[in-house]
Amino acid sequence: MNAIIEKEIWEELKVIRRELGYIKEHMVDVDTVLTQEEERILDESLREFEEGEATKLEDFEKELRK
């Protein structure tokens, strides 16, 4: 293979590797993205917790054992 072409290929690979590294660092974890429905449920749960309407896990477990 021509030395010039080989050098161009190596340079292009370096660029691709840098870009891939950037993409990996900035990629969003799909498990951390909420759907609109999940976000609505979370907001409702937080509101209930802040207003003291949430049930303690201990109380919930006691109720389940009855």
What are the domain boundaries of the chain? 3-65
Distances (CA, A) of 10 to 1, 18, 22: 13, 12, 19
Determine the pLDDT at residue 1.
Answer: 67
Determine the pLDDT at residue 32.
Answer: 84
Q: How far apart are the first and last CA of the chain?
A: 78
pTM over 0.95: no
Closest CA to 54 of 64, 42, 65: 42
- Buried-state track 30-47, b at ≥16 Cβ within 10 A, e below 16: eeeeeeeeeeeeeeeeee
Tell which wins on pLDDT, 66 or 23. 23
Determine the pLDDT at residue 49.
Answer: 92
Alpha-carbon 23 to chain mean position:
14
pLDDT tens by residue, 7-65: 999 999 999 999 999 999 999 888 888 999 999 999 999 999 999 998 889 999 999 99
